[in-house]
Structure 1
Amino acid sequence: MSDGLTRGLLLRLRPWVFPALLLALFEWYARRAAALGSDALAPPSAALKAFGGAAADGSLWQATGFTLGTAALGLVCGAVLGIALGIVLGLSRRAAQIGALSIEVLRPVPSVALIPLAMLTFGFGLRMELAIVAFATFWPLLVLVQSAVQQVEPRLLEVSRVLGLSARDRAFKIVLPAIVPRLFVALRLGVAVALVVAVTVEIAANPHGMGYATMIAQQSFDPALMLAWLGWIGVVGFAVNAAMLRLQQHVARRMGSAA
């Protein structure tokens, strides 16, 4: 019994061994660099102390809330538009042919390149960042949903036509249930893109959020606080992805039990 528990504990701890070794190596290197007179790096222990200070004064939670809120709103806007248009293009070959050129021209445009245009249109703040996040998340969701719809069993669509279902009923009763697994994959990708773009916009142009806090720490020559923000952004991204994965597994189990 104890051997089984020990083996299970080792299996749980195994993924954390390599990150722990990297942190220990970085701690040693940063302390050695500091001993030689360099102040460009801070050891993880100093970053942890700076993290505690940011958490205590509330700046950590305020910046995190702004970034996550903006990323979530932008993802919702991009997802609603991307899923809706993806279903239309997936069901209609004519619509896909008409929109193909526009999609292939606009999709490769880097979302960060739209920062000057968004600043002129919306100014600094929430709306500017929201527009860029929505643009960035719209395209992967559109492409993945269109591909998923095109792979729906054709006989299901034929049955829906025979039954006289409207386009709306066909989308909600036939297409969406059939593409749920791939839809969650698209949403997980959209979540990652939304968070990356939100932080990038805050670093480049928006004086709010975790990205801006990281840049201010760098400009203030506070490497410990900067490293704390970088580590926290990684933790937040990991937690959000884990939550999406858990939600995907829950929905898959519910659909399986319902079937």
Structure 2
Amino acid sequence: MSGKWRGWVVPLVLVSAAEFAMHGVQSYALAAPSAAASAFAELAADGTLWRATFETLGSALAGVVLGGGLGLVLGLWLGLSRTVADAASLSVELLRPIPSVAMIPIALLAFGFGWRLEIAIIAFACLWPMLVLTKSAVAQVEPRLFEVAQVLRLTPMSSVLKLIIPAALPRIFVAFRLCVGVALVVAVTVEIAANPQGLGYSMILAQQTLHPENLFAMLAWTGLLGWSIGAGLLSLQRRLFAHYGGLQ
């Protein structure tokens, strides 16, 4: 068996074991994989699955754009200025460990239920990995590039756009990949905890209405969705930065 397909052995064994164990069992908490597959087909056919997916991915994307964009700008600033980095270090280290879901009560007061609540929490979660990794990426830029900028008499903005960002871009893309993964996890978590929309809320609704087959169908789809997005971004990274070693 080739290494490409070897990773499917364990999931297939687990699914087969679950199907065997659930054969003939009636449960309001668990469902056989075959029942979850049937529920998945029904949810896809009536549009419920796609509507929930669109809501979750839309909020996740908006959170990545806002939080990741702000983290990118702040990371560049802190990476380029030791003075600013020293002044901001305490604030960053105090705020960064705060779990994003701990901000839900504050976001509820500010935004109420809805997509703004979810986007705000996702943006908070994405801000820190992008900031920290961008700062690190800038710090690892070849120092001679700064000398080149001085020789060419580039303005600070031109130096950043034409030299610093292109040199740091491979590592910034790794930070972007991390932010996307974090965004999907946080989006589903917020929907489960507080926001009545998306895949997370659909799973809670299935659990409360005693439809475990719908719950497991949504859960499996969320995992498959996250894996597909991650694999796609990794493939894109390898294509864009094939000449740049050491990145995974």
TM-score (ref. length: structure 2): 0.94
**Aligned residue number for residue 213 of structure 1:** 202
**Aligned residue number for residue 104 of structure 1:** 93
**Aligned residue number for residue 152 of structure 1:** 141
Is contact 1:195-1:237 (8 Å) kept?
yes
Is contact 1:118-1:128 (8 Å) kept?
yes
**Aligned residue number for residue 13 of structure 2:** 21
**Aligned residue number for residue 192 of structure 1:** 181
- Report the number of matched residues: 245
Write the letter of the residue equivalent to 1:235.
L
In structure 2, distance between residues paired with 1:51 and 1:188: 28
**Aligned residue number for residue 55 of structure 2:** 66
Is contact 1:47-1:224 (8 Å) kept?
yes
Aligned counterparts, 1:137-176, within 5 A: 137-176=126-165
1:63 positional shift: 0.3
Could you report, residue by residue, the CA deviation over 1:47-105 in whole angstroms, capped at 9, with x for unpaired residues?
00000110011000000001001100100111111111101100110010010011011
Is contact 2:170-2:244 (8 Å) kept?
no
**Aligned residue number for residue 136 of structure 1:** 125
In structure 2, distance between residues paired with 1:62 and 1:90: 41
Is contact 2:22-2:31 (8 Å) kept?
yes
1:253 positional shift: 4.6
1:185 positional shift: 1.0
- After superposition, the CA RMSD in angstroms is 1.6
In structure 1, distance between residues paired with 2:11 and 2:243: 35
User: Computing the radius of gyration over CA atoms, which structure comes out larger, 1 or 2?
Assistant: 1
In structure 2, distance between residues paired with 1:243 and 1:237: 10
Could you report, residue by residue, the CA deviation over 1:204-232 in whole angstroms, capped at 9, with x for unpaired residues?
11110000000000111111110001000
In structure 2, distance between residues paired with 1:52 and 1:116: 36
Is contact 1:31-1:42 (8 Å) kept?
no
**Aligned residue number for residue 170 of structure 2:** 181
1:116 and 2:95 matched: no
Q: 1:91 aligns with which of 77, 80, 89?
A: 80
1:29 positional shift: 2.0
Deviant stretches of 4+, over 6 Å = none
In structure 2, distance between residues paired with 1:156 and 1:15: 43
1:54 and 2:43 matched: yes
1:255 positional shift: 8.7
Write the letter of the residue equivalent to 1:84.
V
1:31 positional shift: 2.4
1:254 positional shift: 8.8
1:12 positional shift: 3.5
Secondary structure, aligned partner of 2:34 = helix
The percent identity for this pair of structures is 52
Is contact 1:160-1:170 (8 Å) kept?
yes
Secondary structure, aligned partner of 1:246 = helix
**Aligned residue number for residue 191 of structure 2:** 202
TM-score (ref. length: structure 1): 0.91
More displaced 10-residue stretch of structure 1: 242-251 or 177-186 = 242-251
In structure 2, distance between residues paired with 1:175 and 1:57: 49
In structure 2, distance between residues paired with 1:111 and 1:177: 30
In structure 2, distance between residues paired with 1:163 and 1:82: 28
1:15 positional shift: 1.9
Is contact 1:124-1:206 (8 Å) kept?
yes
Secondary structure, aligned partner of 2:7 = helix
Structure whose residues are more often helix by fraction:
1
In structure 2, distance between residues paired with 1:31 and 1:230: 20
1:232 and 2:224 matched: no
